[in-house]
Amino acid sequence: GGETAGAGPTAGYPDRNITFVVPFSAGGPTDTVTRMIAEPMAAKLGGQIVVQNVEGAGGTVGAGEVARAEADGYTVLMHHIGMSTAPALYQNLGYKPLEDFEMVGLVTEVPMTIVARKDFAPATLADLVAHVKANADKVTLANAGIGAASHLCGLLFQTAAGVKLQEVPYEGTGPALTDLVGGQVDFMCDQTTNTSGQIAAGEVKAYAVTTPERVKSLPDLPTTTEAGLPQLQVSVWHGLYVPAGTPPDVVQKLSEALKTALADQKVIDQMAKLGTAPVPAESATSQAHRAKLEEQLGTWAKVIADAGVKAS
């Protein structure tokens, strides 16, 4: 758009399509959350948002691409706890989460569910733990690559159960869930934003939800604490990032648009149906997100070290 007098170079922002990079496959939980907020954010920004899936290596390929993109506000990354796990898992990560990004704001925090193919023998979480202990060399555990939320939850499960299982990596838990429904893989830990539909449809067996409280939209699903595995607690926070050096007024416009999207009744209803909710408005800011990331980098480095997993 034309520059108004005295306005900075970004006064017309956005004046072309904005790309939201999802570092996992289409159809998975990260993709689902992104597509929920893209429309109301685009409306608020007065521009178009195109969602692009850039898969690979537990989300680090997509994150790396955004870290190296032009810092002009036209490339935005949707990511989650994977941003705080990658430094402890990848020796040559190619980006530094706290230095190579501006954080736009937190988006939502999603519970995880332990789900299995529907004809998998174990009936309860306790049965599942007993089963994997007795069949550790045969049971397959799906995830979305090293450093993905599904990988980390799988790690927490294996540490809690005292087993090491055969992990089957996918480029996202969208395709992983398809294989689970098809019976090609035994079980997985994944976000309610992905598994709720298949649980409700009876297409997968659900054992527990990994949060202290039950999820309203999955009232019959016990928590891991109720099911006897209280140490398996994890929820997946999501945030929006742009490359470091993006003009502050552009970051501010994106943060305002994010807050508007998170207050959008349609987004609130969609999230509630999928077991989650927008973060409160004061968390949809760069300060809140940076604080969260700083805290989580330490948290996950410890979990990974305790699990005896080395960066590779």
Per CB under 6 A, residues contacting ligand MLT are: 24-25, 28-30, 80, 82, 144, 148-150, 172-174
CB of 152 to ligand MLT, least distance (A): 8
* Other beta carbons less than 10 A from residue 291's beta carbon: 14
Of 30 and 108, nearer to ligand MLT (C-beta) is 30
Minimum gap (Å) between residue 175 Cβ and ligand MLT: 8
Smallest distance, ligand MLT to C-beta of residue 240, A: 15
Pick between residue 45 and residue 144 the one whose CB is nearest to ligand MLT: 144
CB nearer ligand MLT, residue 47 or residue 82: 82
Work out the angle between the directed axes of helices 29-45 and 173-181 (0-180°, nearest 10): 140
Q: Which residue is nearest to ligand MLT (CB)?
A: 28
Q: Cβ-count burial of 119 within 10 angstroms (0-12 exposed, 13-18 middle, 19+ buried)?
A: exposed
Residue among 80 and 289 whose Cβ is closer to ligand MLT: 80
**Percentages of the chain per state (helix, strand, coil), in multiples of 5:** 40, 20, 40
Distance, CA of 276 to CA of 272 (rounded, Å) = 5
The Cβ of residue 297 has, within 10 Å, a number of other Cβ atoms equal to 17
Among 129, 106, 55, smallest CA distance to 254 is for 106
Closest distance to ligand MLT from the beta carbon of 215 (Å) = 17
Residue 23 host element (H or E): none
Q: Which is nearer to ligand MLT, 29 or 243 (CB)?
A: 29
Q: Which helix (H) or strand (E) holds 121?
A: none
Give exposure, 131-164, as e/b (b: 16+ Cβ within 10 Å).
Answer: bbeeeeeebbbbbbbbbbbbbbbbbbbbbbbebe
Q: What separation, in Å, do the N-terminal and C-terminal C-alpha atoms of the chain show?
A: 47
Instruction: Kindly state the smallest distance separating residue 76's Cβ from ligand MLT, in Å.
Output: 16
Contacts (Cβ under 8 Å, ≥6 apart) of 180: 115, 116, 117, 142, 187, 188, 198, 204
Q: Which is nearer to ligand MLT, 42 or 57 (CB)?
A: 57
Q: Which two tokens stand for residue 113?
A: 């569910």
Q: Is the peptide bond before 247 cis (omega within 30 degrees of 0)?
A: no
For the CB of residue 53, give the shortest distance to ligand MLT in the complex, in Å: 9
To the nearest whole angstrom, how small is the minimum distance from the Cβ of residue 150 to ligand MLT?
3
- In the complex with ligand MLT, the residue whose CB is nearer, 13 or 101, is 101
The smaller minimum CB distance to ligand MLT, of residues 148 and 221, is found at: 148
CB of 261 to ligand MLT, least distance (A): 19
